[in-house]
Amino acid sequence: MISVNSNNVMSCYNTSPIRSRDFSTNKTESSNLTNHSSINFASNSVNTNIRTTLTTKEEKEKYKILSQDLDKNDKKYLDFALKTGILLNNDSNDKSSVLDNLYKIATTQRAKDLDNKKLLKDTLISVTDPYTITQKFGDIPDEYKTEVIDKLTNNSKNLITRKNTEIELRDLFSGCCVAASEQFNLAKKKPAEYVRFAEGLTSTNKSVCKEIKLDSLSENTLDAIWLLNSFEIPYEAKDFKTAKVKLAPDENAYLRAKIQQNFRDETERSSIDVLMQSTFMNVASQQSYNSLNDKRGGKFSNEDSGLIDYEKTFLESVVEDKNIMSVTYQNVDDNQTLIGYATDYDTAKSQLLETLDRGNNIIIGYTLTDENKKIIGAHEITITDYRKDNKGELYFICNDTDDDVSEPIEYPATYLIPKIHHAGLPEDIAMKTMEQTDTWRFNIRELNNNKNAA
């Protein structure tokens, strides 16, 4: 369920059974610590580039065509997007708006076997109500089993190999918590960029290009280029300041997306979820992800599922084009036992609150331990806000893409902070309050060198 190596690097994946056992069997703890808020999707209104009126003939025509492609129930999402400023928001990498890219999804050729109207609906719902985003895999219907097993076994005729593969698919849990958290973050904070990603990944190009600042990866240009090469990201360095990167899922993601498009059950991923999460897993795992069995390779992790915190940070830095630092709070020994903390409770709290006050979400990795402090599970969630009750107790408002609940969840700070293994924070916040000189970029270089020397 979790991997923490001697470098204190954590990989989070497959945590549903652990979380259920930890929070559900202890009913007293669960009722005190887990409070689902009754917040509807209207809480996702965007506060930048607010424009709520269609002003040009082109905008009105695009809106009319989108309305015609949506049924009566789904039009409410389109109306909501317009009234809250989401629809005309153009805070994307190429300045295209949510409306522009929804129109492309509805009216231009999509990748083979993907349906325009279903993609339009799924994209619109996820950008207006990001809490509906989930990492839950769907099963493989009988009519697709042979095709999927053929792909995973390289068309093997060995009956044992094929049966083992079928059993593996039957018991598959999602290790996409990091990718789903990043998807949620992008949908909630950058709706225009989110829909631009959705349009590109579902198009015949099966990819999206993004211009990033190299200092979002490292203050040193050569280190930034080294990172792009190490993560095997196709890119074009335009100058010493920017690079154009190409982000894409693994090819098997499109078979998974087609299955979810046609056989999606309640609480399972949409085809948009599949393609977005597969892209983020592929980017972070050095282009090694396989969407059919949720396995990854790559040079930075010894595990075949999930992502380590350095990979998470690289993903955040590229997708959000921000200088993100992975701050490690917990000290973990070689036996995966929690032995202490890198900083005190108040410092960690201060860092989290300052980051939230800037309007940033915080993707965190938290651990669960037994009575001997042995780590028995881990998971990634997103902190989106905080509040204080009438007694002054601090609560963090969070999103969990693996809890079957399409709304926020609250945790007392006194409960959550001691469980946080790592958090993605703006580098200036992290560096000013912790005695730390090395950044994650140097740590991952050391990790790579150690693996090559082994």
Residue 237 lies in a domain: yes
Is position 110 within any domain?
Answer: yes
Q: Residue 5 pLDDT more than 80?
A: no
- What is the reported pLDDT for 25? 31
The confidence score (pLDDT) of residue 447 equals 64
Look at residue 124 and tell me whether its pLDDT is greater than 60.
yes
Same domain, residue pair 220 and 369: no
pLDDT value of residue 254: 98
Confidence of residue 433 (pLDDT cuts 50, 70, 90): low
Confidence category of residue 6, pLDDT binned at 50, 70, 90 = very low
Are 198 and 218 in a shared domain? yes
Residues in the chain: 454
Sign of CA dihedral 193, 80, 177, 312: positive
Average pLDDT value for residue range 214-234: 92
At 443 the pLDDT is 66
Q: Are residues 338 and 402 in the same domain?
A: yes
| Residue 115 belongs to a domain | yes
219 and 353 belong to one structural domain: no
Q: How confident is the model at residue 302 (pLDDT cuts 50, 70, 90)?
A: confident
Please check whether residue 141 lies inside any domain of the structure. no
Domain shared by 407 and 364, yes or no: yes
Last residue of a domain, one of 265, 284, 303: 284
Provide the pLDDT confidence category of residue 18 given band limits of 50, 70 and 90.
very low
- Segment 388-423, tens digit of pLDDT: 999 999 999 999 999 988 999 999 999 999 999 999
The predicted-structure confidence for 39-92, as pLDDT tens digits, reads as follows: 244 344 444 458 999 999 999 999 999 999 999 999 999 999 999 999 999 999
Residues 26, 124 within the same domain: no
Write down the pLDDT at residue 220: 87
Query: Domain check: are 183 and 237 in the same one?
Result: yes
**CB 232 within 8 Å of CB 286:** yes
More confident residue, 155 or 21: 155
Distance between CA atoms of residues 105 and 111, nearest Å: 11
Quick one: DSSP state of residue 3?
A: E
Residue 360 per-residue DSSP state:
-
pLDDT-derived band at 441 (thresholds 50, 70, 90) equals low
- CA distances to 185, 247, 312, 385, 407 from 362, in Å: 9, 22, 12, 9, 17
Identify the domain boundary among 264, 284, 304. Answer: 284
Q: 109 and 241 in one domain?
A: yes
The per-residue DSSP string of 262-330 comes to HHPPTTSPPHHHHHHHHHHHHHHTTS--BTTTTB---SS-SSSSSEEHHHHHHHHHHHHTS-EEEEE-E
Average pLDDT estimate for 173-180: 94
Does any domain span residue 293?
no
What residues make up the domain containing 239? 46-134+173-284
Q: What 8-state DSSP symbol labels residue 130?
A: G
| pLDDT interval class at 21 (50, 70, 90) | very low
**Do both 319 and 199 map to the same domain?**
no
Calculate mean pLDDT across residues 108-125: 98
Single residue among 235, 268, 284 that ends a domain in this structure? 284
Q: Does residue 143 lie in a domain region?
A: no
In a domain, 147, yes or no: no
Same domain flag for 335 and 245: no
Number of domain units in the chain: 2
Q: Is 339 found in the same domain as 190?
A: no
pTM: 0.88
Dist. CA 179–CA 191, nearest whole Å: 16
Residue 113 shares a structural domain with residue 193: yes
